Structures are given as C-alpha cells and as structure tokens.
Amino acid sequence: MILYRSKFLEVNLLEVQYVMHFLWREYARHMDEKGVYYETLNFLKHRVRRRADSIYMDWRNIQHLVSRETFDWYEQYVLPQVFSHRPHKLAFLFNPPVPFELPGFVTVHGKRVPVRAFTSPSDLMAWLTEGAPRRKRGSGHH
C-alpha cells in the first residue's frame, strides 16, 4: 500500500510483514541535504496515519547526502513517528561502501531496536522479516 509518493520519495507499507519501506527515488540524487529533511518532514506532516513494526530505509539514491547527523535526526524525530509501539527492526540499504557506521541499536518508545546496514535488498528483507510477527491484511493494527 502506497502511503506517500512524490518525485523524490515513495513510502510503502508492506501490510503482511508490517514493514514501512522508504524508497528515495532517482530524482532524489539531485537534491541537497536540506531537500532530504524537507521531503521527510513533508511525508510526516501529511501522511503518518499508519505505523510499522519494522522500517526499511532505501538510502542508495541519497547516500551522498546523508551522514551520521542525518541518522541521528531520523532517530530522534522520525522513527518515533513511524514506528508502532512494538518496534522490531530498522534496516538501511546502501550502495557499497556504506557511508558511515550505524549503531547496533536505537531506542524507540522505550524499547531497544536492532539496526543494520545492507547492500543487498534480498539480504535486508530476509533479516527484516526473520522472526517478525505477521498479520493478516486489514487487521486494523495502527
């Protein structure tokens, strides 16, 4: 289910796995760092009606714009708004080499959430969905 789509960012909810997938699109390569913040805030301001247990951030098209400071801002400001109160895992997809070291965990809603970086989408999804609670479509979980 598409939650948000712009020229730069598409956010999908994979309902069965309850994964929110942030895909920075090809046009995002031409933005500056402020554009990443602006587009993220635009999504949050208009679209966060549903939350997810796991988050998949595809940052390949913006990895030249992001830093540990960007990650810290996402951790403090974005993740509490998009994670459900049952946070499970947080995964990032980059092109090799990964541009900065991620912490092993973040704390969201008072819970420790494992964080990993990947360069393979299939490895990322295998890890993200491993041990994840699965839901039926339309279960009404928010």
What confidence tier does 65 reach under pLDDT thresholds 50, 70, 90?
A: very high
Q: What is the pLDDT of residue 142?
A: 44
pLDDT, one tens digit per residue, over 34-61 is 999 999 999 999 767 788 999 999 999 9
Q: Is residue 13 in some structural domain?
A: yes
Pairing verdict, β 9-14 and 2-5? antiparallel
Helix (H, G, I), strand (E, B) or coil at 21: strand
Q: Is residue 74 in some structural domain?
A: yes
Kind and range of the H or E element at 129? helix 121-129
Q: Is residue 32 in some structural domain?
A: yes
- For the chain, the domain total comes to 1
d(CA 76, CA 84): 15
Kind and range of the H or E element at 3? strand 2-5
